[in-house]
């Protein structure tokens, strides 16, 4: 309805201005016989009734005028012009178009009135979503008018856009922008939005980003900054994308949990896990980010990536308790291991194996063996490495650790054996000395 209202305002103002011109030329036209006094009187009466909103009575006046059969030339074109105006006011666009087409066909119609009729017909066809006809009449108008308007090119651009003729649409948007800029006026916001939509639908993300940069400059809104950031993401300009989102966050324009998480993932993508973890932690404290298993897990993993084991461990412990699968215990085991707590690492790997659901169980058994190896529980370590060898991805590492553990066991056994031999030798030596003393 807003579009309809704007269109009607245009149509009304045009009809009145044209008829006002007819009134100024009344004496001259009467002298030539183009508009007789009776016709002029009827047209004036129709205008008064239309201004009062009495369209039915206005149409009756025009019907009576037409029924006389004496209206011709310029008077006839003015009569149909008023028919068109009244029908357009009633939103009967089909009848309005037919009336304007009559205006165009009459030889005595002035060039200005014929041009205006074509322009209005193009508008009405656009309103009816008959875009090819809108384009036809608007192009005719542009070919005849001396000074094309930016809005005429925008209407053409919108019509071409509806027909998915993006190149023609872009040409007309550019013409409109050029005319507006030349006139020293600020380019309309919706024109630039149309331009960005056209480039986006064409898959030209570079030009889309450039258009959003212009939008941000002229109309600084968080919506455009977010869309520009999205374009930077499409172009692989991740640092620019991160910078924009971080600015929006600092300015208080990013408040939703999903947007804060998105920003955190951007920091992770730039290998800044500490900043990502702080964002998630703050979001959870404020209530913006839900404390569900997935988000808690993400926070724990992010602290772990930042080598903040004291922060990662309690968070991952909480996440692991909420999970019915062993994956989080496996991740927790890795953090324990990195922190040097091999006992807890071993316990966590055992819980991970018990719960199951691991994508890479071999990795878990390999870590289990490494934890037991550091605890000098070599037999348990060997059992874990043999389980790990069942997974092809870690077979090589598991074999290497198995060999290392076997060497450790052999070394320990050799040390024990050497210790026993030394003790036996020492014992014999002492016994021999005792015997010598006795002798």
At 430 the pLDDT is 67
Question: What is the per-residue burial (b if ≥16 Cβ within 10 Å, else e) of 360-390?
Answer: ebbbbbbbbbbbbbeeebbebbbebbebbbe
At 436 the pLDDT is 61
Spans of all domains in the chain = 1-146, 341-439
Q: 341-439 has which fold?
A: 1.25.40
Provide CATH code, domain 1-146. 1.25.40
At 157 the pLDDT is 96
Q: Cα–Cα distance between 65 and 59 in angstroms, integer?
A: 10
At 18 the pLDDT is 39
Q: DSSP letters along 357-418, please?
A: --S-HHHHHHHHHHHHHHTT-HHHHHHHHHHHTTSGGGHHHHHHHHHHHHHHHHHHHHHHHH
- Cα dist from 357 to 215, 300, 323, 349, 364, whole Å: 50, 19, 11, 13, 11
Query: In this structure, are residues 11 and 50 in contact, taking their beta carbons and an 8 Å threshold?
Result: no
Backbone φ and ψ of 332, nearest 5°: -65, -40
At 130 the pLDDT is 95
Q: pLDDT per position in the chain (439 positions), as tens?
A: 334 434 443 443 444 443 444 333 343 333 333 577 777 888 888 888 888 888 888 888 888 878 877 777 888 888 888 889 888 888 899 999 999 999 999 888 889 999 999 999 999 999 999 999 999 999 999 999 988 999 999 999 999 999 999 999 999 999 999 999 999 999 999 999 999 999 999 999 999 999 999 999 999 998 999 999 999 999 999 999 999 999 999 988 888 999 999 999 999 999 999 999 999 999 999 999 999 989 998 999 999 999 998 899 999 888 888 887 888 888 888 888 988 999 988 998 998 898 888 888 889 899 999 999 998 898 888 999 899 888 888 899 989 998 988 888 888 777 777 677 676 777 667 666 666 665 4
Q: Cα–Cα distance between 348 and 391 in angstroms, integer?
A: 20
At 421 the pLDDT is 66
CA dihedral 210, 216, 217, 220 (to 10 degrees): 180
Q: Do domains 1-146 and 341-439 have the same CATH topology?
A: yes
At 432 the pLDDT is 65
Residues 6+ apart with CB under 8 A from 304: 312, 316, 331, 334, 335, 338
Cβ atoms within 10 Å, residue 220 = 9
At 12 the pLDDT is 39
At 433 the pLDDT is 60
At 327 the pLDDT is 86
- Cα dist from 222 to 189, 206, 211, 228, 239, whole Å: 14, 20, 15, 10, 18
């Amino acid at each position: 309805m807003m579009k309809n209202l704007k269109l009607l305002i245009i149509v009304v103002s045009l009809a009145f201005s044209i008829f006002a011109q007819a009134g100024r030329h009344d004496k001259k036209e009467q002298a030539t016989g183009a508009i007789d006094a009776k016709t002029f009187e009827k047209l004036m009466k129709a205008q008064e009734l239309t201004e009062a909103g009495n369209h039915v009575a206005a149409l009756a006046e025009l019907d009576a005028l037409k029924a006389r059969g004496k209206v011709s030339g310029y008077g006839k074109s003015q009569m149909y012009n008023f028919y068109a105006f009244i029908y357009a006011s009633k939103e009967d666009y089909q009848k309005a178009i037919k009336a304007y087409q009559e205006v165009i066909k009459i030889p005595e119609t002035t060039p200005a009135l014929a041009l205006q009729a074509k322009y209005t017909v193009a508008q009405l066809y656009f309103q009816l979503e008959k875009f090819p006809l809108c384009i036809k009449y608007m192009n005719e108008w542009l070919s005849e008018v001396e000074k094309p308007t930016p809005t005429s090119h925008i209407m053409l651009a919108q019509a071409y856009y509806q027909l998915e003729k993006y190149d023609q649409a872009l040409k007309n948007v550019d013409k409109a922008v050029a005319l507006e800029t030349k006139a020293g006026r600020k380019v309309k916001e919706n024109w630039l939005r149309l331009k960005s939509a056209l480039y986006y639908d064409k898959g030209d993300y570079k030009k889309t980003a450039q258009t959003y940069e212009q939008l941000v400059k002229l109309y600084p809104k968080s919506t455009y900054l977010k869309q520009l950031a999205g374009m930077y993401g499409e172009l692989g300009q991740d640092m620019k994308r991160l910078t924009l989102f971080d600015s929006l966050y600092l300015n208080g324009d990013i408040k939703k949990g999903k947007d804060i998480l998105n920003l955190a993932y951007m920091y992770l993508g730039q290998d800044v896990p500490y900043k990502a973890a702080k964002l998630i932690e703050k979001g959870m404290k404020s209530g913006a980010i839900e404390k569900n298993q997935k988000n808690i897990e993400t926070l724990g993993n992010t602290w772990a990536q930042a080598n903040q084991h004291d922060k990662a461990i309690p968070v991952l412990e909480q996440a692991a308790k909420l999970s019915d699968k062993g994956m989080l215990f496996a991740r927790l085991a890795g953090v324990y291991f990195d922190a040097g707590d091999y006992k807890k690492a071993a316990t966590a790997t055992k819980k991970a194996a018990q719960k199951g659901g691991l994508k890479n169980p071999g990795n878990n058994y390999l870590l289990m063996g490494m934890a037991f190896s550091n605890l000098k529980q070599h037999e348990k370590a060997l059992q874990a490495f043999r389980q790990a060898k069942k997974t092809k991805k870690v077979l090589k590492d598991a074999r290497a650790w198995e060999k290392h553990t076997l060497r450790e066991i052999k070394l320990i056994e050799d040390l024990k054996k050497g210790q026993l031999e030394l003790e036996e030798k020492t014992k014999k030596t002492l016994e021999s000395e005792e015997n010598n003393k006795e002798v």
